[in-house]
């Protein structure tokens, strides 16, 4: 087993909760250093709270990253870490800076469950972000992705000298799923769920159209935080 330090951008994110749970289930000792988008509350793992951030408030998030680096770089829980696991670009910056301050060679895994739209657009600011990502990745020992297309369409093209990549698909653990339903027709409407950070305008409008055109045969249930900067008509659509 290992002592793993996980740097996460949102302690309430279901993917982060599932990843830490899987690590602990394998017998690893995990401590999380996480920002959050909700109120401060107990987490199901040993967690060090780094404060609250807000969706689309990029300057505030940058300030939170630098504050986090200063806050934790001498934290005693980091001293015996065997592995740094950094979720997303901003937390990779924290992990790299903390490791540099510690003067150790703790390996870093950079996990990307998606490629942020700011990294794929053209323009000077987006190019600077890609340059920063490339510089940080030179300090990374491995990248974890959730889709092979991320490597094919982004990393191989944008950062051809990237570190080794491992695919860990974003799936629910099989032992947490209910029994597979039988072949008989459902007694009620078919229920579709959309959970997480609700920011994709196309997905939202597609689900609205499906629910509207199905005339009661399909029910859409949404769980998460809506990104009003991306879907300004969210409340009206719901």
- 74-113 tens-digit pLDDT: 889 998 899 999 999 989 999 999 999 889 899 999 999 8
Classify residue 147 as exposed, middle or buried by CB count within 10 Å of its CB (0-12, 13-18, 19+): middle
* Residues of the chain above pLDDT 70, percent: 95
Q: List the beta bridge partners of residue 109.
A: 85, 142
Q: Please, which pLDDT band fits residue 183 given cuts at 50, 70 and 90?
A: low
Coil vs helix vs strand at 230: coil
Report the alpha-carbon distance of residue 9 to residue 90 in Å, rounded.
7
Q: What is the pLDDT of residues 111-165, one digit of tens each?
A: 998 888 888 888 898 899 899 999 999 999 999 999 999 999 999 999 999 999 9
Position 57 pLDDT exceeds 70: no
Would you give the distance in Å from CA 168 to the centre of its chain?
A: 13
Question: What's residue 179's pLDDT?
Answer: 79
Within 8 A by CB and 6+ apart from 106, the residues are 81, 82, 83, 84, 99
Backbone angles phi, psi at 181, to 5 degrees: -65, 155
Quick one: average pLDDT of 186-208?
88
Question: What's residue 19's pLDDT?
Answer: 92
Quick one: average pLDDT of 172-187?
71
Q: In what order do the strands lie in the sheet with 83-87?
A: 46-52, 29-36, 3-8, 83-87, 108-112, 142-145, 165-167
* Residues of the chain above pLDDT 90, percent: 53
Classify residue 115 as exposed, middle or buried by CB count within 10 Å of its CB (0-12, 13-18, 19+): middle
Q: What is the DSSP string of 43-69?
A: -SSEEEEEEE--TT-HHHHHHHHHHHH
- Strand (E) or helix (H) holding 17: helix 14-25
Whole-model pTM: value is 0.78
Report the candidate in 4, 86, 88 with the shortest Cα–Cα distance to residue 45. 4
Q: What is the mean pLDDT of the chain?
A: 88
Report the alpha-carbon distance of residue 3 to residue 1 in Å, rounded.
7
């Amino acid at each position: 087993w290992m002592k793993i330090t996980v740097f996460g951008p949102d302690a309430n994110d279901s993917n982060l909760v599932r990843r830490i749970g899987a690590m602990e289930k394998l017998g690893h000792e995990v401590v999380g250093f996480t920002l959050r988008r909700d109120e401060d509350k107990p987490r199901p793992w040993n967690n060090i709270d780094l404060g609250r951030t807000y969706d689309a408030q990029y300057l505030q998030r940058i300030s939170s990253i630098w504050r986090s680096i200063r806050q934790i770089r001498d934290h005693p829980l980091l001293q015996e870490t065997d592995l740094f696991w950094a979720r997303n670009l901003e937390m990779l910056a924290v992990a790299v800076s903390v490791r540099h301050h510690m003067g150790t060679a703790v390996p870093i895994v950079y996990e990307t469950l998606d490629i942020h739209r700011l990294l794929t657009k053209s323009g000077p600011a987006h190019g600077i972000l890609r340059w920063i990502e490339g510089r940080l990745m030179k300090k990374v020992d491995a990248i974890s992705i959730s889709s092979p297309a991320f490597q094919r369409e982004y990393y191989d093209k944008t950062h051809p000298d990237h570190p080794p990549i491992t695919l860990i698909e974003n799936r629910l653990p099989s032992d947490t799923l209910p029994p597979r339903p039988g072949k008989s027709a459902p007694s009620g409407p078919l229920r579709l769920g959309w959970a997480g950070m609700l920011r994709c305008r196309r997905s939202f409008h597609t689900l609205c159209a499906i629910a509207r055109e199905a005339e009661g045969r399909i029910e859409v249930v949404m769980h998460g935080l809506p990104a009003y900067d991306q879907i300004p008509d969210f409340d009206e659509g719901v």
